[in-house]
Structures are given as structure tokens and as C-alpha cells.
Amino acid sequence: MAVSSSFLRSKRFLIIVGLYVAGILIIRLNGFGEFRHADVNTTGRTLPVYRPPMMPGFGLESLVMVAGHAIYVSGVWTRESIYNESNWFLEQGQAGQVSTFIEHMKTGVEAAATDSMSLLIFSGGETRKGAGPRSEAQTYWLVADALGWFGHPQVASRAFTEEHARDSFENLSFSMCRFRELTGRYPSNTTIVSFKFKKRRFLELHAEALSLPKSTVHYLGVDPPIMVEATSGELSSAAVPFEQDPNGCQHTILTSKRAKRNPFARTIPYPAGCPEMSGVLLHCGNSKFSGQVPW
Ligand SMILES: *[C@@H]1O[C@H](CO)[C@@H](O)[C@H](O)[C@H]1NC(C)=O
Ligand SMILES: *[C@@H]1O[C@H](CO)[C@@H](O)[C@H](O)[C@H]1NC(C)=O
Ligand SMILES: *[C@@H]1O[C@H](CO)[C@@H](O)[C@H](O)[C@H]1NC(C)=O
């Protein structure tokens, strides 16, 4: 009896020692509490596992992009509440513009409704600290949804979000990348919806910086009711800096705007989902990217 119980005890002891050694080996091999693989290229891990034809936008050909401007902060989704400006987190100078933002959504939805091969993207990140970690893109999608897609419910299944843009260059370039993630290809036709007074900036600076063929880019502009405040900074704080810095990555005015508009420290996932755009997306210089683009 005494012999066999001490034998059992020592067997249990051996098993415990064995597990302990195996545990140490596993921890040493795989790392523990540290980013052991941080130096390895992890780009592939962020790529969606979807492949055509399972991609959510597979088969769609043209892009309609609505640039976001503000965030809705109420939990009530009635029409009355949505049109009430005190339920929006607005920046200085945006007072009186909510109906124009909604007009942008409507214009985008209508453009998407007339082209059944189009994919609609609402673009804009979590840009306002005081609004909490909600993105402009989510606001736009939810408002359009709450308002019944302005009478075009068939657009809902073709409507998506781009949730990282911090300025107009990123509204366009990130949406191109997002289109690739959703469809597996790049748009053959792009329609941009924003303020009319930003048309030149989008077409002659951003589309140009991306080398998009002019004939494939269209613009639908709706201006706010009061123009003075809205347009005051257009030249000095956007158009001129973008002329000197097409990708918006080195001019202090543009880089500080990007920093300020990322209060929740989101990491930009692009160009992980659009490897063919890496060159143009990561370019940084005084003149536009001159290498290969996928269109
Ligand atoms: C708008 O919303 C605010 C705050 O929720 C409320 O106090 C105000 O009465 C609303 N205005 C209208 C016209 O409904
Ligand atoms: C594009 O998106 C940003 C960030 O979401 C937004 O604040 C900005 O006003 C938009 N730009 C234009 C030109 O519409
Ligand atoms: C591109 O989009 C515009 C605006 O939505 C539309 O008028 C035009 O017919 C489209 N062109 C092609 C070739 O799809």
C-alpha cells in the first residue's frame, strides 16, 4: 500500500514537472505578454478573408462618395430629432449647415439610385473628441437609413462606410481603397458629393494627385445657405497647402488638422486592403506621385 501510493505520488509529481517544462517551452517559443511578432509583416492579417464573389460589393463598378462633415450625437432617430441642430456636434462655423449635410446624403443616395452598378460610400472618421468615438461615416449611414434612404431603399444594400478619413484628400483616396476592399477592383467611374465650393479642390487637386483620369470623375456640389463662414478658410487652410503638398502629409496646416481630427488614436488600415494603391497612398512630397497607379 505504502509503496504503490508513493509510486502514484511520484508519477503525479513527474506529470506536474512535465507540464511545467512544456509550459515554459511554449511561452519561450511563442512569446508572452509582449508583441513578439511585431517585427513581422502583419499586413496580411488585416486583409479581409472574403474573395470574389463573396465580397460585399462584388460586381459593382462605379463609386459614389459622400464626404462627411459632422456627427449626430442623439440616440433618437426621428426625422424631427435629426433635423434639430442641437442634436449634432458642430464645429465653429457649421451652424445652419445640418440641412446641407442631409442634402449631401440625399444627393449621394439619388446618384446611387440612378446607377444600379454603383456603390455608395459615406466617408469620415471619428473626428470630434466631444462627440465620442463615433464616426462621421456612421452618422451619415444611420441618418440616411433613419430617413428611409430618401425613398430609394434599394440603395441600402449598396451603401457602406469609410471610417478613417480626416480631410478631403483622405475622403477620396481612402474611399478608393475601400471600394477595392468591398468589390475586389477599382471604380471605373467616381462621383464625389460635397460642397460646391470645394469642387476645384477635389477635382483639380485631389483627383489630380491620385492621377484619376479626368473623364471618369464627376462632382455633385451642394453649398450651405450661408457661404461667408463656410468658405473663409477654403483657400488659406486647404487649397493653397494642398497645392504645395498634394498628399497632405507634410504641410503643418494639413498635418496638424489630421492630428486634431484623430482624437481617438485610430490607426489607419490602408493600404492593407488595396495593395495596388500603396505607392500613391503612401507618397509624400512637394509634387504629385508619378509612379504606377491601378487605374
Ligand atoms: C432641439 O433639441 C433640443 C435639445 O435636445 C431641445 O431642447 C429643443 O427643444 C429641440 N428643438 C426643437 C425645435 O424641437
Ligand atoms: C472629409 O472628411 C473629413 C473627416 O471626416 C471632414 O471633416 C471633412 O470636412 C471632409 N472634407 C470635405 C472637403 O468634405
Ligand atoms: C458616371 O457617373 C456619372 C454620374 O453619376 C454618370 O452620369 C455617367 O453616366 C457615368 N458614366 C459611366 C461611363 O458609367
Into how many domains does the chain fold?
1
169: in domain: yes
Share the mean pLDDT of the chain: 88
Q: Which atom of ligand 3 is nearest to the CA of 61?
A: 14
| Domain of residue 220, residue span | 61-282
196: in domain: yes
The confidence score (pLDDT) of residue 35 equals 38
Give pLDDT tens digits for 256-274: 999 999 999 999 999 989 9
Residue 277 pLDDT > 60: yes
Domain CATH number, residue 192:
3.40.50.620
30: in domain: no
27-31, 42-46, 98-102 — which one is most confidently predicted on average? 98-102
What is the Å distance from ligand 3's center to 135 Cα?
29
Using CA positions, which residue lies closest to atom 4 of ligand 2?
Answer: 166
119: in domain: yes
Three-state SS letters, the chain: CHHHHHHHHHHHHHHHHHHHHHHHHHHHHHCCCCCCCCCCCCHHHHCCCCCCCCCCCCCCCEEEEEECCCEECCCCCCHHHHCCHHHEECCCCCCCCHHHHHHHHHHHHHHHHHCCCEEEEEECCCCCHHHCCCCHHHHHHHHHHHCHHHHCHHHHHHEEEECCCCCHHHHHHHHHHHHHHHHCCCCCEEEEEECHHHHHHHHHHHHHHCCCCHHHEEEEECCCCCHHHHHCCHHHHHHHHHHHCCCCCCCHHHHHHHHHCCCCCCCCCCCCCCHHHHHHHHCCCCCCCCCCCCC
29: in domain: no
Ligand 1 site: residues with CB under 6 angstroms? 84, 86-87
What percentage of the chain exceeds 90 in pLDDT?
Answer: 74
The confidence score (pLDDT) of residue 239 equals 84
